[in-house]
Amino acid sequence: MAMKIALIGYGKMGHMIESIALQRGHEIVCIIDQNNLDEFESKAFASADVAIEFTTPQTAEQNILRAWKAGVPVVCGTTGWNVESLKQQLLHNSIQLLHHTTPSLMWSSNYSIGVNILFALNTQLARFMKSYSEYTPHMTEVHHIHKLDAPSGTAKTLQEAIGEERLPLEAIESIREGEVPGIHTVTWDSEVDSITITHSAKSRKGFALGAVIAAEWMKGKTGWHEFSEVVFSHE
């Protein structure tokens, strides 16, 4: 079913999301970037079924709050900010909005379907490894030179499943080079063998497609949601 989508952030990801949304039959009713923030107050923005937000760690939370004030649910892909605080407020119904509607947010450190399958594999592998102290985990993440946060949000999600005791956050190796869309590799190494799982993105298209699929899934929903609900909804 066709949706009205607002875009918050109009960089490379914003342009790609726009293209995919139009291909899937949706309408882009509003585009907000740093130079037209007053559009949050517009009728066009308020008419959106959902907003897709890809901006910066410094602006993400304020953008989400502005969208909620307009009664618009948000799919957010910005990493490197304190999303946990907003999540807890949502889960405990402690956010007060002027129009008395229930806010709605989906956040993910990565909207690639493949990466979310990697998350599930990583979590299961980490569970197995709790019984095998002879294995030491290592993680490397590689991204383009324009990525602002390091380690990446995806790497942090992988690290959380492994645990701080086995893999401290500062032990993650972050590499920034060229225009690499994203490579994440987790290796469990012992004296006798190694186990490696990796995901290598071929382009940003997978992230953009996942964000649009998430927006389609979010229509009419309230509260806090994660992209894994979408990826594994057919189980």
147 is catalytic: yes
Cα 40 to Cα 5, 68, 77, 225, distances in angstroms: 13, 10, 18, 23
What single-letter DSSP state applies at residue 101?
Answer: P
| Spatial CB neighbours of 76, under 8 Å, sequence gap ≥ 6 | 53, 54, 60, 64, 83, 105, 106, 107
Catalytic-role residue among 143, 184, 199, 225: 143
Closest by CA to 63, choosing from 47, 81, 49, is 81
Q: Is 88 exposed, middle or buried (0-12, 13-18, 19+ CB in 10 A)?
A: exposed
- Distance, in Å, from the CA atom of 137 to the CA atom of 139, rounded to the nearest integer, reads 7
Catalytic-role residue among 147, 184, 199, 225: 147
Dihedrals phi, psi of 141, to nearest 5 degrees: -130, 135
Q: Are the beta carbons of 75 and 52 closer than 8 angstroms?
A: yes
- Distance, in Å, from the CA atom of 86 to the CA atom of 73, rounded to the nearest integer, reads 14
- Distance, in Å, from the CA atom of 135 to the CA atom of 166, rounded to the nearest integer, reads 9
Kindly list the catalytic residues.
143, 147
